[in-house]
Amino acid sequence: MLIAVDVGNTLTDIGFYDGDDLRFVFKTKSDPSRSYDECQASLELFLRSRELDPKEVDGAILCSVVPSLEKIWSKLLLTVFEVRPLLVGPKLKTGLPIKTDNPKEVGADLIADAVGAKKKYGSNVIIADLGTATKLILLNSKGEFEGCCIGIGLSIGLDALVKRTAALPEVNLNVPKHVIGKNTSDSMNSALTYGSAAQIQGLAKMIEKEAGVPCKRILTGGYSHFIARLLPDWEYDENLLFIGLKDIFDRNRK
């Protein structure tokens, strides 16, 4: 069994692959203040709840954008499962040419997304990954990482709106039935969710214009489910990053 770990700024997603089948996914908060023991207790509780034997795991791959938690999860995988994880980075084979000014600065999560999209959808693909930040990635006609856009995510937008204004209250993120809000909560959520969907559509249109060809449109990431119904022409693929991690692991398996 393969364990694939994606440490993001908000959530850490952990997938368990049995062959080519993604059997289980475990999500936990990415809190840099959490100790090693707290992360271990959370992971072991999940393993017991799914009756998973750590000895079943014989491979691991780790993708992280949080250096402090990368160290903790690297140690956890080695301690709990007795496997040394592959770390997504410049030293691993990905099968993904990166056509940016400085390929080494491209985040491990963006690489995993792009590898997953190339594996499943081929070339000429726009990926919108809604995490802590909202990222749009272009795979060109050769299946290369052409570049991306990185902007404010839904959670950051909501947090800033509340903290930088005197009168607006804290609200839970949701999609109102109508764009025109009739109360403060709906009005805030409308601009955040419908506004994010409009931004993604607009950027995708401009990306396609620059690419010069129509592109498949894929929606993924932890916050993507909030606006998936607002983007009916986009394919919702919540496990795209795991597909990428599995493919990278297979390419580097000894």
| Number of domains the chain contains | 2
Same domain, 7 and 33: yes
Read off the CATH number of the domain in which 164 is found: 3.30.420.40
**Cα 33 to Cα 144: distance, rounded to the nearest angstrom:** 37
Same domain, 10 and 71: yes
Lookup: tokens for 88: 């997504």
The SS3 call for residue 218 is strand
- The average confidence (pLDDT) of the chain is 95
What positions carry a catalytic annotation?
109
pLDDT per residue of the chain (254 residues) written in tens, 0 to 9: 999 999 999 999 999 999 999 999 999 999 888 899 999 999 999 999 999 999 999 999 999 999 999 999 999 999 999 999 999 998 899 999 999 999 999 999 999 999 999 999 999 999 999 999 999 999 999 999 999 999 999 999 999 999 999 999 999 999 999 999 999 999 999 999 999 999 999 999 999 999 999 999 999 999 999 999 999 999 999 999 999 999 999 999 86
Same domain, 7 and 56: yes
Same domain, 156 and 218: yes
Interacting residues of 217 by C-beta distance below 8 A, sequence separation 6+: 125, 126, 128, 204, 231, 233, 234, 235
Residue 253 lies in a domain: no
Segment 13-56, tens digit of pLDDT: 999 999 999 999 999 999 888 899 999 999 999 999 999 999 99
Residue 79 lies in a domain: yes
Q: How many CA atoms lie within 13 A of 134 on its CB side?
A: 24
Same domain, 147 and 220: yes
Report pTM: 0.94
Residue 58 lies in a domain: yes
Amino acid in position 224 = S
pLDDT of res. 82: 95
**Cα angle for residues 57, 221, 202 (degrees, 5° grid):** 155
- What residues make up the domain containing 61? 2-87
- Residues 128, 240, 118, 249, CA torsion sign: positive
Mutual angle of helices 108-121 and 240-252, in 10-degree steps: 90
Residue 136 lies in a domain: yes
Segment 98-116, tens digit of pLDDT: 999 999 999 999 999 999 9
- Scan for tokens 């995510």, then name that residue: 153
